[in-house]
Chain A
Amino acid sequence: MGTISLKNVRKSFGDANIIPNANLDIRNGEFVVFVGPSGCGKSTLLRLIAGLEDLTSGTIEIDGKNVTDAAPSQRGLAMVFQSYALYPHMSVRNNIAFGLKMAGVPPAEIEQKVAKAAATLNLTEYLDRKPRQLSGGQRQRVAIGRAIVRQPEAFLFDEPLSNLDAALRVNMRVFIMQLHKDLGTTMIYVTHDQVEAMTMADRIVVLNRGNIEQVGSPLDLYNNPDSLFVAGFIGSPKMNFVTGAEAERHKAKTIGIRPEHLEIASGRGGWAGTIALAEHLGADSFLHVDTETAGRLVVRAPGDFRGKDGDKIVLKPDMARLHKFDDNGKVIR
């Protein structure tokens, strides 16, 4: 079992209020991603759950048990750090076995569990090496091995892929998703990369300046963002925001439309503009268009779109997909 719930969690360092008031319920077996820009408090929130930071006030429960004042070792959680944080003086075998040794598991059982974890992670032939003799991806797998071998209530991942190169990152992302499927254990995953958040999460928690902005499934956040912040953070390229007269026509302070919900049309009845810049990615092209009334908009065009810089085009928004926001940046439904 691995339910985790935060009740009125507050954390401040001196005068700085890092987490003003967080409430969150994480279900057993769920893959939850904390996402937000750097400095939004997502890592702090994870460290509070881990027990590596003390709460200023509020309570944390794991499996219905109050662990607010429990030491990290008593919470039954495993954590994978951004820097991997392997023990440099221990072999891979001992790195993976360390948690079991601390728990007083008999040596024969440790041996068997380490062998099993190593086989899952393709680390069997590296068991006697030291961490410094491994590549980044291998170190990452050792860090994961160290976590899974203990069969924790939940896994905590603190930006685990940010030190890997792009190709490896995609592989590890798939690997972690598969791991979640196989183990069915609760996982909390912190990242600033919204693509990781969208692809991996059952539920995404979007954080902004220590506040939980919105919690929902990836598509829920994509389709129905509660605020300007969430609308701008989820989706790539970013949602276009238009203010001023165009927004007032829709009785809103700001209107938002995603690049994929703009249609390139000819004739009248849309936003006329000039292509300022075109990014050709192969499957898609992203056109940066300077419009006469709505400012610069990014539009997603098919990869075979033949427009050049300087061409005049008209953009028609899909009205059903238009997002309206009030003065406080909250959505108008």
Chain B
Amino acid sequence: MARAVSTRRKWFFTILAWSIAFVIFFPILWTILTSFKSEGDAILIPPKFLFFDWTTENYGVVQERSDYIKFAMNSIILALGSTAFALIIAIPSAWGMAFAPGKKTKDLLMWMLSTKMMPPVGALIPIYLIFRDFGLLDSRGGIITVLMLLNLPIIIWMLYTYFKEIPAEILEASRMDGANVWKELVYVLTPMAVPGIASTVLLNVILAWNEAFWTLALTTKDAAPLTQFIASYSSPEGLFWAKLSAASTMAIAPILVLGWFAQKQLVRGLTFGAVK
């Protein structure tokens, strides 16, 4: 009897989990489906779920009208650039806080995280003015710096929790072996933290890739990533749902595939330290 109950429970939770997953995934699924509809079908009420005339014409039109590759290149450069930049700052900071903590280290970590609680629009005007005065508007360097600062608290937090798991004795052993701080970071700490750094990088690339607020506000053409590419389809000329969906699908496809392959690392990264 007990076994029957547990089987029933198992079915229940399996169906529940799939339902929740489906609800979460539905907007993406709907976007993908819509991208294959004609503009007419896209706004039809009641909507057609699967049985419509499938067409790839939207993708052709989108590619013709705007240069996908150029936007995608910008997205890649911004995501990777801001991540690399952030790591250069975050690894030494997290090392310091994990292995040589002071009285205020916890407060410092909390304060860094608190900057993420502020609505970004509060900082928009000052940052916009700084960008304008320093000629950084629509420059890759400028937007990389902003994205780096934006995600730095999360990166430092993640690395900090990883580093905390590394036994301090191993770093001390390297010091006894004659390594200075720099060599200790490069030859011992970083290679040991590779799994942690990898999941931090993945998460940050995804966050930077999807970041819309700042990229929309601070770029127009030269440094514009895929968020601008999508936004250009909700223009004053009117909404073209099917084309907008095609653009969105093209924009999220790379990161979706990356996320799919890296999901193990991501889950590990997000739960590290919490579950041992």
Q: Which of A4-12, A75-83, A205-213 contacts B (4 or more CB under 8 A)?
A: A75-83
Most buried by A among B169, B178, B192: B178
Q: Which of A86-94, A132-140, A172-180 contacts B (4 or more CB under 8 A)?
A: A86-94
Most buried by B among A52, A82, A150: A52
The smallest beta-carbon distance between B163 and chain A, in angstroms, is 14
Whether A72 lies near B175 (C-beta < 8 A) is: yes
Most buried by B among A50, A78, A99, A102: A102
User: B residues within 8 A CB of A88?
Assistant: 170, 192
Contact with B along A255-292 (1 / 0, CB 8 A): 00000000000000000000000000000000000000
| Cα(A277)–Cα(B97), bound, Å | 55
Partner of A83, one of B167, B175, B178: B167
Contact with A along B148-189 (1 / 0, CB 8 A): 000000000000000000010110111111111001000110
Tier of interface size on chain B: 10 to 19
The smallest beta-carbon distance between A46 and chain B, in angstroms, is 11
| Cα(A81)–Cα(B173), bound, Å | 8
User: A residues within 8 A CB of B178?
Assistant: 73, 99, 102-103, 150
User: A residues within 8 A CB of B177?
Assistant: 73, 78, 98-99, 102, 146, 150
The smallest beta-carbon distance between B10 and chain A, in angstroms, is 36
B-to-A contact residues, CB < 8 Å: 167, 169-170, 172-180, 183, 187-188, 191-192, 194
| Cα(A133)–Cα(B78), bound, Å | 41
The smallest beta-carbon distance between B210 and chain A, in angstroms, is 32
Contact of A85 with B by CB under 8 A: yes
Whether A73 lies near B192 (C-beta < 8 A) is: no
Contact of A219 with B by CB under 8 A: no
Closest A-chain residue to B169, C-beta based? A85
20 contacts between A and B (CB under 8 A): A71-B175, A71-B180, A72-B172, A72-B176, A73-B177, A73-B180, A77-B176, A78-B176, A79-B172, A83-B167, A83-B169, A85-B169, A86-B170, A86-B173, A87-B192, A89-B194, A99-B177, A102-B177, A102-B178, A102-B183
User: A residues within 8 A CB of B192?
Assistant: 87-89
| Cα(A71)–Cα(B180), bound, Å | 9
The smallest beta-carbon distance between B191 and chain A, in angstroms, is 5
User: A residues within 8 A CB of B169?
Assistant: 81-83, 85
The smallest beta-carbon distance between A15 and chain B, in angstroms, is 13
User: B residues within 8 A CB of A102?
Assistant: 174, 177-179, 183
Closest B-chain residue to A103, C-beta based? B178
Beyond the given pairs A73-B178, A102-B177, 19 more chain A to chain B contacts, judged by CB atoms under 8 angstroms and listed by A's residue number, are A52-B172, A52-B176, A71-B180, A72-B175, A73-B175, A78-B176, A79-B173, A82-B169, A85-B170, A86-B173, A87-B174, A88-B170, A88-B192, A98-B174, A98-B179, A98-B187, A102-B178, A146-B173, A150-B178
| Cα(A52)–Cα(B179), bound, Å | 13
| Cα(A73)–Cα(B176), bound, Å | 5
| Cα(A222)–Cα(B172), bound, Å | 35
User: A residues within 8 A CB of B188?
Assistant: 87
The smallest beta-carbon distance between A60 and chain B, in angstroms, is 15
User: A residues within 8 A CB of B179?
Assistant: 73, 98, 102
